[in-house]
Amino acid sequence: MSYITPKTTRGVQEQDVWTAADAVLQQGQRPTIERVRQHMGRGSPNTVGPMLESWFARLGERLVAAQGGAEAGEKLPRPVQEAMHTLWQAALTQAQAVAQEALQAQQTQLADAQAALQAREQQLQQRSDNLQQQKQALDEALKLAQAQQADLSERLDAMQQQLEQREQLLQAQRKEFDALQQQRDGERQQHQAALAAAAQERQRLAEQFSGNEKRWLGELDRSRQEVEKLKKQQQQATQEAQELLAQARSRQAELENEYLAAQGALTTTQHSLDLANERIGELKETLQQQRPAPEAATPRTGPSLQRRALAQKSLTRRR
């Protein structure tokens, strides 16, 4: 019986696993990871599993080697041949069970991947909807800020027009006062007798003009203050609108980057899912090829058993 050079892994050697698997098989049981571990009394499933798969992969070669050694001397007795055939059938059954377990594991992983993909798609859709709502809210806020800015600009223009009108009115009043003063001076020269009355009238007009001027100057000062206040409000509104516009543009760029990243992740996940589907199809096809022929064609001679071992060895290499 030939073995691969033993490999030491966490204290358990491949020779130990092979020996335990042979012992379990001789007891008429299928060598499983748990049975081999129980027979050895040690070893973890992660360590024993790969070594047991190697045992199954080399079982056909070992049986062929044993048959060849028997033919070099004399033919094996029929009970020995039947025992070897039983071992070979048990090995095939175990290999099919391992392949079936691997297929079921792949199908479970595929189902989990599909569920995760659907959940991810729902999250991305919800995220996209939320981002779209945020963008709409920012657009509405920007429109409101622009409308407020336009309203403040109109109010500022109106106040400036009022200020110009009041300044023009003040200039007209000053010109009128100057004209009246000149007129009174001329009348005073022409009418010396009416100088006192003219002086009183001039004083009265001066006081009246002074009162009017103070009132107009007060209104003018208030108008200027209101204009300055409106200018500040306009500047503040303009600055806020610019900041809001910059934030909206930055947020829009972030949303576009997130959407592109989500699309890339979705494409990668879909590609992995396609590869998994292809792998499952290959496993199913391999499992169909490994199913044994009907019992009616059971070989009873050594050469027939050797041909079966060579066919299984070729199939194992293709895998």
Q: What is the pLDDT of residues 151-166, one digit of tens each?
A: 888 898 898 899 899 8
Highest mean pLDDT among 39-48, 181-190, 274-283: 39-48
* Residue that is written with structure tokens 């010109």 in the block: 175
Residue 295 neighbours by CB distance under 10 Å:
7
Beta bridge partner(s), residue 9:
12
What mean pLDDT is reported for the chain? Answer: 79
Q: What is the pLDDT of residues 36-50, one digit of tens each?
A: 999 999 989 999 989
What pLDDT is recorded for position 78?
60
DSSP line for 98-145: HHHHHHHHHHHHHHHHHHHHHHHHHHHHHHHHHHHHHHHHHHHHHHHH
What pLDDT is recorded for position 73?
42
Residues 6+ apart with CB under 8 A from 54: 4, 14
Report CA-CA distances (Å) from 113 to 80, 117, 278, 280, 283: 49, 6, 14, 13, 18
Q: Compute the radius of gyration of the chain from its Cα atoms.
A: 52
